[in-house]
Amino acid sequence: MFRNVESPSVTKTKLMKNTTLKYLLLLLFWGIATGEMMAQSAGSSGSKSMYALYAVGALLLTGIWMQVSDKFIGKKSAGGAQDGSTVALQQGHDIILKGAPAKKQLSVNVKTYAVRPSDFKGLAPIPKMEVEVGAEVKAGDALFHDKAMPDVKFVAPVSGEVIAINRGAKRAIAEVVILADKEQQYRSLTPPQLNACSRQELQDFLMDSGAWALIRQRPFQIVPAQGDVPRDIFISTFDTAPLAPDLNYVVEGRGEAFQKGLDVLARLTDGSVWLGLDGRGQSAPSAVFAQAKGVKKCSFKGKHPAGNVGVQIHHIRPIGSGEKVWTLNVQDVITIGALFTEARFNASRVVAVSGDECKENGYVTTCIGANIGDLMSGNLKGENVRVISGDILSGTTTNAAGFLSPFDDQLTAVEEGNDFEVFGWLAPSYARPAVSRTYLSNLVAPGKSFHVNTNTHGERRAFVVTGQYEAVLPMDILPQHLFKAILAGDIEQMEGLGILELSEEDVALCEFACTSKQPLQQMLQDGLEMMQEQV
Please report, as residue ranges, which positions from 47 to 76 form the binding site for another protein (by CB under 8 A): 50, 53-54, 57, 60-61, 64, 67-68, 71-72, 75-76
> Is 416 near another protein (CB under 8 A)?
yes
Quote the least distance from Cβ 305 to another protein, whole Å: 12
Cβ closest to another protein, residue 231 vs residue 267? 231
> Is 454 near another protein (CB under 8 A)?
yes
Cβ atoms < 10 Å from Cβ of 397: 12
Q: Are 146 and 124 in contact (CB under 8 A)?
A: yes
Gyration radius of the chain over CA positions: 26
Quote the least distance from Cβ 48 to another protein, whole Å: 13
Under rule CB under 8 A, which residues in 427-446 are in contact with another protein? 428, 432-439
Cβ atoms < 10 Å from Cβ of 195: 7
Instruction: List own/partner pairs for 380-386 with CB under 8 A and 24 or more apart.
Output: 380/413, 381/357, 381/413, 382/357, 382/415, 384/415, 384/416, 384/418, 385/357, 385/413, 385/414, 385/415, 385/416, 386/413, 386/414, 386/415, 386/416, 386/454
Quote the least distance from Cβ 533 to another protein, whole Å: 21
Which of 519, 529, 532, 534 lies at the binding interface for another protein (CB under 8 A)? 519
> Is 103 near another protein (CB under 8 A)?
no
User: Rounded to whole angstroms, how far apart are CA atoms 456 and 386?
Assistant: 14
**Stretch near another protein under the rule CB under 8 A, chosen from 31-39, 149-157, 210-218, 291-299:** 31-39
Binding mask 226-265 for another protein (x = CB under 8 A): ----------------------------------------
Cβ closest to another protein, residue 67 vs residue 184? 67
> Is 271 near another protein (CB under 8 A)?
no
Which of 201, 360, 419, 529 lies at the binding interface for another protein (CB under 8 A)? 419
Quote the least distance from Cβ 82 to another protein, whole Å: 16
Which of 325, 352, 368, 414 lies at the binding interface for another protein (CB under 8 A)? 414
SS3 193: coil
Closest CA to 122 of 152, 142, 156: 152
> Is 35 near another protein (CB under 8 A)?
yes
Binding mask 361-380 for another protein (x = CB under 8 A): --------------------
SS3 484: helix
Closest CA to 3 of 304, 309, 312: 312
User: Rounded to whole angstroms, how far apart are CA atoms 513 and 434?
Assistant: 7
User: Rounded to whole angstroms, how far apart are CA atoms 297 and 178?
Assistant: 39
Cβ closest to another protein, residue 227 vs residue 320? 320
Cβ closest to another protein, residue 72 vs residue 132? 72
Under rule CB under 8 A, which residues in 302-331 are in contact with another protein? 318, 320-323
**C-alpha 159, offset from chain centre:** 31
Interface with another protein: number of residues (CB under 8 A): 104
Under rule CB under 8 A, which residues in 382-411 are in contact with another protein? 386, 388, 392-395, 397
> Is 23 near another protein (CB under 8 A)?
no
Strand-pair category, 173-180 with 216-218: unpaired
Cβ closest to another protein, residue 16 vs residue 54? 54
Q: Are 231 and 324 in contact (CB under 8 A)?
A: yes
Binding mask 470-509 for another protein (x = CB under 8 A): x-----xxx-xx-----------x--xxx-----x---xx
> Is 516 near another protein (CB under 8 A)?
yes
DSSP 194-210: TTTS-HHHHHHHHHHHT
Closest CA to 501 of 481, 479, 530: 479
